Structure formats: C-alpha cells, structure tokens
Amino acid sequence: METATNTIPTASHSNNLNFLRLLFASLVLVAHGPELRYGDRSRELLTRVFGTISFGEFAVAGFFILSGYLIVGSWQRRPQIADFIEKRIRRIVPGFVIAFAVSVFVAAPLGAQDVAAYFHELNYRALFSMAVQLKHPLELPPNFVGTAYPYVNGAMWTIEFEVRCYALALLFGLAGVSRQKGVWLIVYIVALGLMLMSDQVRTLNLPGQKWYLVSPPEFINFVAFFSAGACFKLFGVVARGRWAVIAAVVLLFLLTTQHDLALLGLATVGAYALFWFAFASIPSLISFQKIDDISYGLYLYGWPIQKLLDWYLPSVSLWLLIPLALLFASLLGYISWNLVEKPFLRSKKSVTVPIKVLV
C-alpha cells in the first residue's frame, strides 16, 4: 500500500518535515565534530563510509530540497510580493541576527586569548554590514587561534544562498504557475548539468559574480537542490514507496563513485526518496509534528558550541563532545524558537496589496 501523499504540507496534514529538519540539523553537527577538531573530513563518518560527501553536505542538500518545495508552495498559496518577502524576513532574519550577535559578542570572546583586545579591535561597521547581508562573521579579531577553522560560526555561510533561492522563487513566481513550471524545469536541468562541470564552473569570472553568485560552484549546487523541490511541488510529483526504494539504492551507488555524481544523486533520486519519506505514514514519528521547530537555532548555534567545547575540553573524546554539543545547541535552538523566531512569526502582519501575475 502506498503511503505517500500529494497534498500541500500544512499544520493539519500528517508529514515528517519536523523530524527531517531536526535530523538534518543534527547531522550537520555530527559532520562538523571531526572536521573542527582535526581540520579535514577524513574522519567524518559518511566520508569514511563512501569517500565522497559528508553528513553535512547530505543534510544541507536535504534542507534546500525541502525549502524549494515549501517556498514555492508558499508563493502558490499567496502570490503577493510584500507578503512573500515579509514571511521570508520574519522566518530567517531575527534568528540569524541574534545568533550572529551571540557568536560575535559571547562565543568569540570566550575563544579569544585577550578579551579586552578582541573587543577593542572589533569593526562594528563591518559587523553591521555582514549581519544585514546575512553573511557569516569571518572578519573578526583573532579567536580560537591554533584550532582548525579558527572562526566562530562557519555554519552561517549557507543562509545567504538560501535567500538568493528565495529571490529566484519570487522572480519566477511572477511569471505565473504555467510559465514558472517550465522555467524551474529548465533551471533544474541546467543546474544538474553544471554540477557535473564543477571544475569549469569554478573558473568562472563573471562581472560582479561575488554579489549575485557569491561562489559559483556552491550556488549552482544549491540552486539544483532548491529547484528539485520546486519541480516536485509544481509538477505535483507523488513519490511511491517501491520507486523510493529503487531511488535510495541508486543513490547509495552514486555515493560510492565521485563527489559530483554523489551531489547529482542527492538532487535527483535522493530528492525522490526524501519526498517519499517526508509524507510517508510512520506512526513512530507522529510525535515530532507537535514539538517546537528548533532546527534553525540548532543549526545556527551548533558550530560556536562545538568550537567552545573543543577549546575548553580539548582532551575529552570527540564522541562525548558531539552529544554534548547537540544537547547545548538544542537548548539554544529551543530558546531561539520560543523567544525570537516564533514571536516574530506570530507578529501582526502588515497589509499587503495583491499583485497581478502573468498567467
């Protein structure tokens, strides 16, 4: 019996999205543990098994695939520019800005050798610019010196790519449902092709590309994942159980080949298997639908928590520190959700004027 559904996920529908978001955020921490301690991925669990991608890449791909599905669905339900932008800002910006401030003004000083000198050398104008552009805080006085990746929050770098994908959803959405289906499909196919040309993409030097692409290879990958979700939504693809099993087997094979093919597998057969799982009826996961969505905060605070634990407990086993990091980051994620994210989501919405889209 098929357990997938083709309905739009909402609070009233049964789905496993909360569980998946929590799982993906947790996997990012699991992946970062060995990388932050040893400075490379050679001891990261998924890398050791397949030799291609890490759990972090796997999880971020999952986040972007689900995001493409949900964000395009959000525009379909309410195709209004102001409302769309407001919702995205409320969901992303408050949590990011607070996590940015906590990273810069709390976590980084705790990893600085001279706290007074750290605050004295802070460039507040540059910090403000980074925060409003949703960039991760790289340009800071020295902190966590002598450790692998000596900066306070390297996990934030994906957020600006997420926002660029939101901009694409808005831009293509203005073309209307019938036209945007074709546009997203073309973008998806082109992005998949470019994923297999990562060496060539890496040499691109387009005018102003740092502003709109940031980093071409990563941008292409994220657009491929996001557009996979968008196409699943727009074309009403219903993932079937038997085909999901085949998709998962194909994905496992591609994970054993090379990095680019592994990423391509995540954006294709991986997306199919993911959407089957997302809407499958799994009784043991029902309870996750009712818990607070701490995944965003867990993701944002995981890196600084892990840096601090490594900094103050360098001799403690990594496999003890990872559960501790998950515990503390989950606590901060819970606080972020209840004191920052949810209040902004519940704030009174501004009046929006309907706009006419091309049909």
User: Which tokens go with 52?
Assistant: 């291609």
Measure Cα distances from 195 to 50, 165, 298 in Å: 19, 17, 29
C-alpha to C-alpha distance for 24 and 214, rounded to whole angstroms: 24
Per-residue pLDDT of the chain (359 residues; tens, 9 = 90+): 333 333 334 434 689 999 999 999 999 999 999 999 999 899 999 999 999 999 999 999 999 999 999 999 999 999 999 999 999 999 999 999 999 999 999 999 999 999 999 999 999 999 999 999 999 888 899 999 999 999 999 999 999 999 999 999 999 999 886 789 999 999 999 999 999 988 888 777 776 666 667 788 899 999 999 999 999 999 999 999 999 999 999 999 999 999 999 999 999 999 999 999 999 999 999 999 989 999 999 999 999 999 999 999 999 999 999 999 999 999 999 999 999 999 999 865 443 433 333 33
Residue written as token pair 């099993």: 245
Would you state the pLDDT for residue 152?
96
C-alpha to C-alpha distance for 27 and 131, rounded to whole angstroms: 25
Residue pair 26/319 in contact by the 8 Å Cβ criterion: no
Would you state the pLDDT for residue 149?
93
Would you state the pLDDT for residue 175?
85
C-alpha to C-alpha distance for 72 and 234, rounded to whole angstroms: 8
**Residue among 84, 75, 36 nearest 56 (CA):** 36
**Residue among 358, 356, 346 nearest 80 (CA):** 356
> The dihedral of CA 57, 63, 69, 74: what is its sign?
negative
- 336: CB partners within 8 A, 6+ apart: 95, 98, 99, 294, 296, 297, 300, 301
Measure Cα distances from 170 to 108, 179, 218 in Å: 36, 13, 21
Would you state the pLDDT for residue 352?
41
pTM of the model: 0.91
DSSP letter string, 213-250? TSSHHHHHHHHHHHHHHHHHHHTT----HHHHHHHHHH
Would you state the pLDDT for residue 347?
66
Would you state the pLDDT for residue 1?
37
C-alpha to C-alpha distance for 15 and 12, rounded to whole angstroms: 9
C-alpha to C-alpha distance for 43 and 46, rounded to whole angstroms: 9
C-alpha to C-alpha distance for 88 and 98, rounded to whole angstroms: 16
